[in-house]
Amino acid sequence: LISPPGLDPSIVVSCPLTFDQFEPVTLSVLYETVKHLKPSGSPSDAIPPRLFKEVITTLGPAVLAVVNGSLSSGVFPRNCKHATVQPLIKKPNLDPSVLSNFRPISKLPFLSKILEKIVYVQLKDFLDENGNLEVFQSGFKSLHSTESALLRVFNDILLATDAGDHVVLVLLDLTAAFDTLDHNILISRLQQLVGIRGTALQWFRSYLEDRTFSVNLNNFQSSSAPLLYGVPQGSVLGPLLFSLYLLPLGSILRKHNCAFHCYADDTQIYVPITKKDAHSISPLIKCLEELKIWMALNFLHLNEGKTEVIVFSPSGNSESHPIALGSLTQSVKSTVTNLGVKMDTGFNLDRQISSVVRSSFFQLRQLAKVKSFLSRKHFETVIHAFVTTRLDYCNSLYFGAPHSSLSRLQLVQNAAARLLTGTWKREHITPVLASLHWLPVHFRVHFKILLFVFKSLNGLAPPYLSELLHLHSPSRSLRSADQLLLDVPRTRRKLRGDRAFAVAGPSLWNALPMQVRQARSLNDFKSKLKTHLFSLAFNSV
């Protein structure tokens, strides 16, 4: 039930394809690259990024010569290797004399980001063609998100507990992982596991070596210091290179039959424990021991003190479980925060919803103070930015949550609508929501799940979600054969299996009118789906 092997890529030393050199780019490609980059740079930039973007047509030929010269020679410009680090305190109430209370913000030259983006596109195209990227890595990948990652993890755990198994989930914590990776090991990964050779490999070696940084604080600048480890913070290539550095992780986890999911440096491992093996968790323990050794050899530090464990049972009873966890016992929690979502053993999501409600009402109180300074149109935009985004974050996971919990989220949306329109508390809110064209929370959850279904069926979602859905194939010729219906897996428990994406998605999809299921594009589907759900929500208004 967890992580079917169909998608598992085998990492081998000999790559079927090799990447020996970069392709030179044209002026039009350069202009498009600069156009879509954020105007952020370094204090060392001779031309501010915003101005640079405006005059790129004038500077284009000179910049193109630098870019193509770097690509063909395999040499990264030395003046693009210096980072200016600005320390920012994490929270205003923290002690500024404690260095760990600061977050270093690294600023790189704008030209560096242009060159990196061009290399990124060519490298990413090669990786997609060669199938090198880890399927269960969702960080910094198009079509992937924290929500898609959690939707798959929740799906697997819900189906396993629906089948009567317990599931142990381990959230690993890596300390400053991006800052400690070894450059020589990374180059070896690129060469042996990815297939990068020739001037392309030389370019990456040049990109990583001889880097420096200085600290800028209150207009004072420190002297330069060498940057010997890690990927450049704030870089375009850094996250992708880090994910390639972690490629061997997948083979270790699969060897021990452990399901897993990564989001950048956040790694979670989960294994089902059947009734027959209720007292044996040795495969997971052995896997964690091997991971710890591998990380040490690869200059990654596993913070065991911050590693968290949670056990899910078929009944949802968190008081006791028959799992002998051994050395993991001290790390067991009844609630853990997973990619920004508070998970509990019963999948009620009470802590998560309480957190959303609390922060949303705080934002509404703050927004009430500035309402008089904004037009209604602009104020609605601000409400969506500060409140609706909180209600919608990973809301596909709320499907099947207790009605009382969803009602609390609905109170937040009601309060936002009253604040925007000036509606009194005693007035009925449903007509107000209808006039604003705001789908109620319950229907927003359905909207999000159905959006994932449409994307999964049309190549717009991660493969690990698409593989969970199967078009219904009748055993004999029927009218329903061409209606784009999906198979709905059988489940045992409404509060477990029915909430899994592999079940909830097809159930909601099959209930849609034919014209909605047959939408030709994503925008067309969104429009038709919202119209359909709107009619269900407000048909009596």
**Predicted local confidence at residue 321, as pLDDT:** 64
358 with 342, same domain?
no
pLDDT greater than 50 at residue 290: yes
Do the domain assignments include residue 154?
yes
341 with 410, same domain?
no
Do the domain assignments include residue 359?
yes
**Predicted local confidence at residue 479, as pLDDT:** 58
267 with 184, same domain?
yes
131 with 247, same domain?
yes
CB 145 within 8 A of CB 77: no
The band of 426, judged by pLDDT with boundaries at 50, 70 and 90, is confident
Q: In terms of pTM, does the model score above 0.75?
A: yes
Q: How many CA atoms lie within 13 A of 135 on its CB side?
A: 20
Do the domain assignments include residue 491?
yes
Closest by CA to 263, choosing from 462, 91, 72, is 462
The band of 3, judged by pLDDT with boundaries at 50, 70 and 90, is very low
> Cα 233 vs. chain centroid, distance in angstroms?
18
270 with 361, same domain?
no
Give the integer Cα–Cα distance in Å for 523 and 281.
47
> pLDDT above 90 covers what percent of the chain?
76
Do the domain assignments include residue 2?
yes
Position of tokens 């929370």?
441
CB 196 within 8 A of CB 187: no
67 with 140, same domain?
yes
158 with 281, same domain?
yes
Residue with more model confidence, 320 or 394: 394
Closest by CA to 392, choosing from 351, 442, 436, is 442
> pLDDT above 70 covers what percent of the chain?
93
342 with 355, same domain?
no
The band of 160, judged by pLDDT with boundaries at 50, 70 and 90, is very high
411 with 463, same domain?
no
Do the domain assignments include residue 102?
no
Give the integer Cα–Cα distance in Å for 503 and 465.
12
Do the domain assignments include residue 86?
no
Residue type, 419: L
Give the integer Cα–Cα distance in Å for 353 and 347.
11
Which residue, 436, 454, 479, sits at the end of a domain?
A: 436
Do the domain assignments include residue 476?
yes
Position of tokens 């990374």?
186
Question: Exposed, middle or buried by CB within 10 Å (0-12, 13-18, 19+), for 63?
Answer: buried
Residues ≥6 apart with Cβ < 8 Å to 374: 382
The band of 318, judged by pLDDT with boundaries at 50, 70 and 90, is low
Q: What is the CATH number of the domain that holds 167?
A: 3.30.70.270
Which residue, 436, 460, 493, sits at the end of a domain?
A: 436
pLDDT greater than 90 at residue 498: yes
Do the domain assignments include residue 368?
yes
201 with 281, same domain?
yes
Residue range of the domain that includes 474: 443-538
160-173 mean pLDDT = 93
The torsion of the CA quartet 366, 370, 375, 376, rounded to 10 degrees, works out to 30
DSSP characters over 322-363 = S---GGGGGGB-SEEEETTEEEETTS--HHHHHHHHHHHHHH
Q: How many domains does the chain have?
A: 3
252 with 366, same domain?
no
Which residue, 308, 323, 346, sits at the end of a domain?
A: 346
502 with 465, same domain?
yes
The pLDDT mean for the chain works out to 91
